[in-house]
């Protein structure tokens, strides 16, 4: 492979993309690249060290003529230490970022290089923007639909085509297999690829995917909307106390007291946050703070999910054990006055894409007005960015395999939404499990964090499924329980759940767990 370093020049590459025009291409070798790559940024892959690697960095800038866009794709092609394993691994983005400039995406690419993959990412034409405000509006009242379309889907297919072309130019052969790996926005991108571009990748790992985007992003604003409607903003310690009480009450519902709520539905049915109203002794800066009616109402609304003014459910909610005070129900209290601090992605969706006005005040909407905006978002954007189409038959017929996963303690994106999508796929396609498996992860937060570790062996299982036909019947996971002990457990393909074998004295070892298929 050493001779390839002399081929790492622009003249080696000649990417072609129908409907696009190449604006520029640069290629240069990167030598002695080293990095510690933590598994939390690789989602389905373990921690790895990149040591003295050499690869060719190829950066392609192109446009779709007539759309006034400029999209950058960046590929890293292994030359030596390690040499190329014959495969492509594309990595996804986060939040409003399609990939490229996100630090997490570059970390994931370093991990891919360490494992011998050629790897690629795209900026979807959004440049260095880490939020939507620099690109969402062409002018007040006018959304840049081409930019949104590029983020939503178009750049994803472009990226796959360009990446495979660069690989063939450089190595003289196409990749034997191509894979996608991402979480959150990256998970949504993976689901979109399976639905709309079934030939792009042989294997897709999609974590915490934002599937029902036009409803999902308003749901991030939902707890703030409830506080706005009630005109009251509880101290964060009230939410913390409610979450702690819910955890204590629901922990054992799955038959095991370990600091993890595994059965969210049972918890919602049995735990009543309003019973805590008036409780004192909280861990607050003001020792007189008690749990308020508002705090109970907001927690309850967050857990049961966004609903219309007429009480119609829109999306599932998040687990009572999830950290709402640190994510979607954020408030800031000073001098005895508390105010809401909404999450930027929810606010910008309402302001820029629905009201189409960056000065739009999201803090004084009635419930009916909030409903109207959600409905408008579905009307305008469902066909552009939502990934709720359950018909994966084309992906199945192309031989594709997909694994998705979602932490049950995800406090940003409701895990029930991903389960709902899998149910829809399985209802439409009875053979869904032959090509698609979903794993719900008790105790796992959004993409990383929580008591559960990430499913770090799942990508290897996906690759085995794609290349050898062996489906993942379970996947290992490490869990830190209440005592601080690290236990080795399993995750099971939804709707199966992991159960502790009664013959085991404790839950420490993986062999003590089995998948309940009843």
Catalytic site residue 448? no
Separation of alpha carbons 266 and 288, rounded Å: 33
- Residue 126: CB atoms within 10 A of its CB come to 30
| Phi-psi region at 309: left, alpha or beta (left = phi > 0; alpha = psi -120 to 50) | alpha
Sole residue written with tokens 């990595």: 91
Strand ranges in 463-516 using DSSP code E only, listed in sequence order: 475-480, 486-491, 497-500, 513-516
Sole residue written with tokens 């178009």: 154
| Residue 149 and residue 125 in contact, taking contact as beta carbons nearer than 8 Å | no
- Which of 292, 446, 452, 456 does the annotation list as catalytic? 446
Separation of alpha carbons 260 and 248, rounded Å: 9
Separation of alpha carbons 37 and 46, rounded Å: 9
- Which of 123, 323, 389, 410 does the annotation list as catalytic? 410
Buried/exposed 216-232: b ≥16 CB within 10 Å, e otherwise: bbbbbbbbbbbbbbeeb
* Residue in 472, 473, 450 with CA at minimum distance from that of residue 459: 472
Q: How far apart are the first and last CA of the chain?
A: 52
| Residue 227 and residue 298 in contact, taking contact as beta carbons nearer than 8 Å | yes
Catalytic site residue 184? yes
Please name the residue ranges forming H helices in 22-134.
103-114
| Residue 207 and residue 440 in contact, taking contact as beta carbons nearer than 8 Å | no
| Residue 64 and residue 19 in contact, taking contact as beta carbons nearer than 8 Å | yes
- Give the active site residues: 184, 410, 446
């Amino acid at each position: 492979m050493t001779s390839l370093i002399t081929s790492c020049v622009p003249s080696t590459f000649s990417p072609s993309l129908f409907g696009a025009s190449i604006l520029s291409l640069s290629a240069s070798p990167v030598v002695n690249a080293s990095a510690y790559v933590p598994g939390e940024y690789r989602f389905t892959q373990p921690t790895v060290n990149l040591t003295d690697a050499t690869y060719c960095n190829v950066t392609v800038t192109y446009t779709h003529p007539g759309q006034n866009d400029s999209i950058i794709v960046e590929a890293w092609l292994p030359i030596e230490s390690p040499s190329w394993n014959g495969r492509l691994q594309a990595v996804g983005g986060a939040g409003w970022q399609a990939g490229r400039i996100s630090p997490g995406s570059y970390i994931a690419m370093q991990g891919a290089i360490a494992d011998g993959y050629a790897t690629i990412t795209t900026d979807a034409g959004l440049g260095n923007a880490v939020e939507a405000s620099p690109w969402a509006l062409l002018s007040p009242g006018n959304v840049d639909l081409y930019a949104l379309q590029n983020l939503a889907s178009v750049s994803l297919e472009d990226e796959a085509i360009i990446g495979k072309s660069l690989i063939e130019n450089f190595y003289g052969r196409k990749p034997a297999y191509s894979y996608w790996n991402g979480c959150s926005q990256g998970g949504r991108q993976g689901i979109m690829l399976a639905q709309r571009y079934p030939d792009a990748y042989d294997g897709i790992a999609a974590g915490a995917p934002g599937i029902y985007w036009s409803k999902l992003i308003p749901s991030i604003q939902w707890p703030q909307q409830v506080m706005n409607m009630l005109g009251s903003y509880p101290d964060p310690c009230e939410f913390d106390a409610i979450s702690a009480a819910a955890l204590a009450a629901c922990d054992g519902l799955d038959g095991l007291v370990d600091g993890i709520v595994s059965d969210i539905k049972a918890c919602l049915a049995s735990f009543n946050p309003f019973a805590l109203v008036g409780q004192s002794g909280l861990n607050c800066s003001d020792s007189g703070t008690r749990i308020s009616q508002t705090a109970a109402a907001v927690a309850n609304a967050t857990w049961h999910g966004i609903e219309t003014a007429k009480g119609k459910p829109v999306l599932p909610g998040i687990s009572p054990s999830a950290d709402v005070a640190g994510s979607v129900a954020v408030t800031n209290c000073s001098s005895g006055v508390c105010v809401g601090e909404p999450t930027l992605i929810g606010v910008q969706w309402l302001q820029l894409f629905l009201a189409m006005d960056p000065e739009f005040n999201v803090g004084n909407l009635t419930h009916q007005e909030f409903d109207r905006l959600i409905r408008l978002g579905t009307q305008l954007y469902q066909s552009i960015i939502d990934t709720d189409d359950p018909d994966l038959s084309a992906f199945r017929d192309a031989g594709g395999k997909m694994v998705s996963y979602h932490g049950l303690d995800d406090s940003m994106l409701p895990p029930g939404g991903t389960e709902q999508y899998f149910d829809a796929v399985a209802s439409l396609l009875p053979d869904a499990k032959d090509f698609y498996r979903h794993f719900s992860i008790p105790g796992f937060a959004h993409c990383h964090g929580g008591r559960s570790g990430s499913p770090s062996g799942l990508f290897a299982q996906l690759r085995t499924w794609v290349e050898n036909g062996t489906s993942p019947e379970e996947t290992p996971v490490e869990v830190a329980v209440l005592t601080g002990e690290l236990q080795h457990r399993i995750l099971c393909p939804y709707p199966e759940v992991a159960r502790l074998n009664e013959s085991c004295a404790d839950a420490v070892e993986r062999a003590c767990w089995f998948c309940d298929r009843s």
